[in-house]
Amino acid sequence: MTAMTTPVPALSADELNQHRRELTGFCYRMLGSGSEAEDAVQETLTKAWRAAHRFDRRSSVRTWLFRIASNVCVDMSRSPQRRARPVDLGPVRTPDAVHLSDVLPEDRWITVVADEHVLDLDGDPGQVAATRDTIRLAFVAALQRLPARQRAALILCEVLAWSVRDVAELLDTSTAAINSALQRARATMASAPAMEASAPLTPQQEDLLARYLEAFERYDMDALAALLHEDAIQTMPPYAMWLRGRHDLLTWYTGPGVGCKGSRLLPGWANGCPAFAQYRINPEGGHTPWALQVLELRDDRIAAVHSFLDPEECFARFGFPPHLPAQPH
């Protein structure tokens, strides 16, 4: 008489999908692209679903999915080009339209991600703020400087708090190899420009954002000037150009960027920072998506405005509407 074996419970789609947000955060940090991260997660879940009949539950579903996702992201990271921010790719420019001829290919610049798609926002506010640091544009750009497996080890150990032993098992290597990879990765990350730690918004900063929305929609340069640090930065991916200094930012707004006059803004969060979906006037009526502005704050003023001029790539993913109707007078 043969021994009875306990059947392995089948995997359900819900059991796989409950890990989607954490997987998306991992893949985004690995790839530096919101859309590529979504593609990587979809590929991971598809591979897992197709192989579900072979999964014997000797490891957790979470570990199994991350093993698949790590392999997917490493394969997708084989391009010799790395994603970066405009400030990492060249010198500061003057606020002149001639620089708009320098356009970066889509695979050269860090793209945006919605906080809610990669972070658990229901926890302690201080912990949420700390976790937001790990999707800030500067941090994600610094990660892209690492070889893919070093990047995976650092994210798994230092962002997601996996043990070195578990990461070694997941990446099919030794604990000594992971410790060595972490040492090299930390040295590279330490050489990146310092980034101020995030914190929950203060009432003064919440007021600052409300004043920014009002000033930008009025296109009031005096009011905007009062909200910007003297050394504020403006970037506009996919353009390689970037600007530094309140004067140059305002010169741009009233010169090459004057088409933004009359815009409307909708608030949100992206890459650990307050963000605004910007809609410009549509001559045929209402307002059309134009840019996603990601604002970095320092104390009680704005330190940087990163305007991602690729609304088709991100507005739908963020859940912003494709059109705003004209406002009644």
Q: What residues form DSSP beta bridges with 217?
A: none
9 pLDDT band, cuts 50/70/90, is low
Q: What is the mean pLDDT of residues 134-152?
A: 96
Separation between Cα atoms, residue 131 and residue 23, nearest integer Å: 15
**How far from the centroid of its chain's Cα atoms is residue 241's Cα?**
20
Query: Options 1.20.1050.10, 1.10.540.10, 3.40.605.10, 1.20.140.160; which CATH number does 15-82+116-190 get?
Result: 1.20.140.160
Q: For residue range 173-186, list pLDDT tens digits in order.
A: 999 999 999 999 99
Q: For residue range 69-81, list pLDDT tens digits in order.
A: 999 999 998 777 7
Q: Do the beta carbons of residue 71 and residue 152 sit within 8 Å?
A: no
Q: What is the mean pLDDT of residues 242-251?
A: 98
* Concatenated DSSP letters of 4-36: P-PPPPPP-HHHHHTTHHHHHHHHHHHHS-HHH
Q: What residues form DSSP beta bridges with 6?
A: none
Q: Which CATH class is domain 203-318?
A: alpha beta
Coil, helix or strand at residue 307 = strand
Domain ranges of the chain: 15-82+116-190, 203-318
| Confidence check: pLDDT of 6 > 70 | no
| Confidence check: pLDDT of 1 > 60 | no
The pLDDT assigned to 10 comes to 62
The pTM assigned to this predicted structure is: 0.93
| Confidence check: pLDDT of 192 > 70 | yes
